[in-house]
Structure 1
């Protein structure tokens, strides 16, 4: 394994796809963003002026739990680093697969406020825990920063011709395209199967968790035989 599994390009691009699917689903179904807290704060302010206090509360709770998710993710990173425990991020993927499966069930799916804050909390943990692809920073939950990376590195490459700028340009283009593809697939599925579309997210998390678990197991098995 040339890099930690959480920095693998395939993992990062699939998480970006999931990020796009997740955000589009929550906005369509719950009128709130899972991760784009800037949008939630703006919408909450507008709705406060219109007296839509239920919607305001839902968005502010989403922002609060997103904040708490970031704090927990930072704690987990420090804790497992000190314990020298590797691959703990696998448990996050299994946790997300379970969470989004439960959200797809009818008894929970219509609990708007509860589901919104659960998704925001879970998404924040994912964002902080998976923030690099092969050592290059990226964002898998929203794409404004990635678009900036596309534009700035395209400019740098055109002006200087440096290979590093070209590589960064390609890196951010792939992330943005993955995010947009996730949005498109989520909207398409929602039109077909409505609330069950969120099970796509659950299935992808489970696939990602199982595939990486197998690769890690195979790696350690080979290391054992070499010894």
Structure 2
């Protein structure tokens, strides 16, 4: 008997949020000073390079989104602890609403305050990666691709070895998510080039779509889903 999944694990939710994840990475890199909103490994590497060059001010430029990412993870855990048993609204929905509010604010922050914008975008990305960690029961990420690529490759090997249809499905989902991330990055590149800093507001469409699914799709496991 298959386990009933929470709406947050729905592929459509994952696809929409992954689209947003790819979009935000190109948005911040192009219009907010060359900082990656999602890929904190990249920011850590760039910070290390600046430290070796004794450019401490530039190093702080990359440290800020890293710290913000940590705060975002802590914020989601706090929201989860407060609202996990709330019968009226699920903590996933609260997380998404907060993300939408923050993204709306970012759209009106001028380029002269890119550090603030990057702090807020990294905060939302951390909330998203912490709050939406499973796709049909399997661990994944909506804001980065390395883990998805590893898991997809593992599932592909397992399928080729055993011809297990469930492994084929897992591999297909992982590689689909990676492709969707790329599409989001491409769209982010194009729209940011046309619209500028307010292009981030387009992300609200993806967030709203995911929120709609969460609000309208109900399962018996909604209360206890991770």
TM-score, normalization: structure 2?
Answer: 0.86
- Name which of 103, 107, 118 aligns with 2:106: 103
**Offset at residue 164 of structure 1 (A):** 2.1
- 78-87 vs 18-27, which moves further: 78-87
Which secondary structure state, in structure 2, belongs to the residue aligned with residue 35 of structure 1?
coil
Provide the C-alpha distance between the structure 2 equivalents of 1:179 and 1:124, rounded to a whole number of angstroms: 16
Provide the C-alpha distance between the structure 2 equivalents of 1:116 and 1:52, rounded to a whole number of angstroms: 19
* Residue in 2 that maps onto 1:22: 24
The answer as to 2:137 corresponding to 1:135 is yes
Provide the C-alpha distance between the structure 1 equivalents of 2:114 and 2:58, rounded to a whole number of angstroms: 10
Aligned residue-pair number: 215
Provide the C-alpha distance between the structure 2 equivalents of 1:165 and 1:3, rounded to a whole number of angstroms: 18
- 46-55 vs 195-204, which moves further: 46-55
Provide the C-alpha distance between the structure 2 equivalents of 1:49 and 1:73, rounded to a whole number of angstroms: 34
**Offset at residue 4 of structure 1 (A):** 2.0
The answer as to 2:179 corresponding to 1:177 is yes
* Residue in 1 that maps onto 2:80: 77
* Residue in 1 that maps onto 2:188: 186
Distance 1:208 1:15, change over 3 A: same
Provide the C-alpha distance between the structure 1 equivalents of 2:83 and 2:51, rounded to a whole number of angstroms: 41
Distance 1:82 1:115, change over 3 A: same
* Residue in 2 that maps onto 1:32: 35
Checking the alignment, whether the CA contact within 8 Å between 1:99 and 1:202 is kept in structure 2 is: no
Checking the alignment, whether the CA contact within 8 Å between 2:133 and 2:139 is kept in structure 1 is: yes
Segments of structure 2 that go 5 or more residues without pairing to the other structure are 220-226
Which secondary structure state, in structure 2, belongs to the residue aligned with residue 34 of structure 1?
coil
* Residue in 2 that maps onto 1:223: none
The answer as to 2:66 corresponding to 1:63 is yes
Segments of structure 1 that go 5 or more residues without pairing to the other structure are 221-227
- Name which of 91, 114, 136 aligns with 2:94: 91
- Show structure 1 runs of 4+ deviating over 6 A: none
